[in-house]
Structure 1
Amino acid sequence: MKVAGKVAVVTGGGGGIGGAIAQALAAEGARVVVADLDAATAQAVADKINADHPGSAVAAGGDVSGTEVIRGLIELAEKGFGPVDMYFANAGITGAPGLDADDAAWDLSLDVNLRSHIRAAQLLVPGWVERGDGYFVSTASAAGLLTQIGGATYAVTKHAAVGFAEWLSVTYGDQGVKVSCLCPQGVNTKLLFPDEGADDGLSATAMKAVTEAGDVLEPAQVAADVLAAIDDERFLILPHPKVLDMYRHKGADYDRWLRGMRRYQASLQGS
């Protein structure tokens, strides 16, 4: 799909990967609704886009895991630009690290990392099927193909996000609905490197696992990879190509892979 002239909604768009995707879309001629829990950061990204590409972006704040907030984003896009052609389910949280996570922590991670994708698809996919065209981009993680040492809620919900994206593609791919799933490793965002004093980043072990696993990419590079995949209508987006090799090793001998991950975890913990 060519993005020029398309109408897109990008959640988690106030910075990081989402902000970079929103800017990349506008640079290619798309019109974008930039959404984020932090309305000020969403507005800052929209203002930057409009400075370079006047009239190409609007901003919205809100909890993008909620159905009514998502519905509001769609209506905002329709009012300002026209029907939504593309939805980037990019908002995400790291969540609680281990078995001590309570039900509320699990529900929060499930809402943001998974149910937000489901709820957006419920609102958009029927119309896309009727039109015979639409594009859903799910931001998951390499953790959704492999796992996340030191991050139980993150690993599980990102696996679920990959599974939902697969299901969407299988179910609606022959009815005009395109689906891509972004699965990066380390990216230079606040999710990996939170502001000082913030309590929403990865655990120390999880951060070490990510940063030692390979290169930490800049969001602009990831956004470029996303747009290239959309142009090719390719499902799996791997900014870190070696993730595919690791995924193949996992599938080829699951028990060996699990043993290797346990050894790697022990090394990270200094055991």
Structure 2
Amino acid sequence: MNIDGSVAVVTGAGSGIGRAVAAALAAAGAAVVVGDIDAASAAKTAAMIDGVSAVSDASSTEGIAALLDTARRAFGPVDIYVANAGITGEPGLGDDEAAWDRIIDINLRAHIRAAKAVLPEWVERGRGHFVAVASAAGLLTQIGAAPYSVTKHAAVGFAEWLAITYGDRGIGVSCVCPMGVDTPLLRGMSDSPDEEIRVAGAAVSSAGAVLDPDTVAALTIQAIADGSFLVLPHPEVLTMYRQKGSDYERWIAGMRRFKRTLG
């Protein structure tokens, strides 16, 4: 994908990784629609990068359609879609069924619905690039939060399926799987009044370096330009993933030990 001159949509771009990716895309020459459910945050990012903001629920079919329509009116057909919006959800098993539905909608169905919206046009044109911002939790796990772990696993699985199914038709797919990144999401976990959520945050923060969002964004932009799939801002995740696959029992035992150290 030639980013210079392209049109991009980034969801959850009012802060964190989304804002950094939107800025990096703009710096590379893309016209960017900044999507976020928070109007003030979206407008702030758009002003920073000379983009266009759109207040939208990126988990809904209607919200995605509004983002794409905004892009078409402002810049033209969308070439790059970055499905970045995400939430941590409830700790533990997640007692609230409605909360499970919400995190599945935001962390997974948002990707599925966006792909359904953009792929027909991309297939017809023979080009386009879909970025799924998932998590290392989607390759490994998330201690303390089943809903987050499950939805990030599913997001990785969906991205894999897209890459396999559409890769021969000119469609690029990248899946971003960082560990700790200095974002409002991670800070909210670390500062939560809920002990289980704080443990989940500690698991992320202590597993490796907490990176700046700009670092993740730079690697994501490079993946789009190169047409590569897996983006690992923390390279050690690949070693952990290989250890998991080579000896599942040992990996699970190790994760139990790690959990005990967190309290």
Match for 1:178: what amino acid?
Answer: G
User: Aligned partner of 2:136: which letter?
Assistant: A
For structure 1, the residue ranges without an aligned partner over 5 or more in a row are 51-56
Matched, 1:23 2:23: yes
Q: Give the Cα separation in 1 of the matches to 2:40 and 2:247.
A: 47
Partner of residue 32, structure 1: 32
Residue 145 of structure 1: aligned partner: 139
Indicate the residue corresponding to 1:46 in structure 2.
46
Q: Is residue 191–residue 202 contact of structure 1 (8 Å, CA) maintained in 2?
A: no
- TM-score of the superposed pair, with normalisation by structure 2: 0.97
For each residue in 1:175-225, what CA deviation from the matched residue of structure 2 results, as whole angstroms up to 9, or x when unmatched? 111100000000000110029987899811111101110100001111001
Query: What are the within-5 Å matches in structure 2 for residues 54-133 of structure 1?
Result: 57-133=51-127
Task: Provide the residue aligned with 1:5 in structure 2.
Answer: 5
Question: How much identity, in percent, do the aligned residues show?
Answer: 59
* Alignment root-mean-square deviation, CA: 1.7
CA contact (8 A) 2:191 2:198 kept: no
Aligned counterpart in structure 1 of residue 156 of structure 2, from 147, 162, 176: 162
Deviations 1:99-130 (A, max 9, x none): 24221111011000000000000010111111
Q: Distance in 1 between matches of 2:207 and 2:221?
A: 25
User: Which residue of structure 2 lines up, in the alignment, with residue 134 of structure 1?
Assistant: 128
Secondary structure of the residue aligned to 1:136 is strand
Letter in 2 for 1:81: F
Q: Which has the higher helix share?
A: 2
In 2, are the aligned partners of 1:184 and 1:239 still within 8 Å (CA)?
A: yes
Residue 230 of structure 1 and its aligned partner are, at CA, apart by: 1.3
Shift of 1:93: 0.1
Contact kept in structure 2, 1:192 and 1:202, CA below 8 Å: no
In 1, Cα distance between equivalents of 2:194 and 2:37: 13
CA positional deviation for 1:62:
2.1
Q: May I ask how many residue pairs the two structures share in their alignment?
A: 263
Whole-angstrom CA distance in 2 between matches of 1:112 and 1:92? 6
| Contact 1:7–1:83 (CA under 8 A) maintained in structure 2 | yes
User: TM-score normalized by structure 1?
Assistant: 0.94
Contact residue 138 and residue 161 of structure 1 kept, 8 A: yes
Quick one: which amino acid aligns to residue 151 of structure 1? A
CA distance in 1, matches of 2:140, 2:11: 24
User: In 2, Cα distance between the equivalents of 1:162 and 1:205?
Assistant: 24
Residue 96 to residue 188, structure 1, CA distance change in 2 (3 Å): same
| Cα distance change, pair 125–199 in 1 and its aligned pair in 2 (3 A) | farther
Give the gaps of 5 or more residues in structure 2.
none
CA separation in 2, counterparts of 1:99 and 1:143? Answer: 16
Which residue of structure 2 lines up, in the alignment, with residue 192 of structure 1?
186
TM-superposed deviation, 1:2: 2.2
Q: 1:173 aligns with which of 167, 176, 184?
A: 167
Q: What CA distance in whole angstroms lies between the structure 2 residues aligned with 1:110 and 1:84?
A: 25
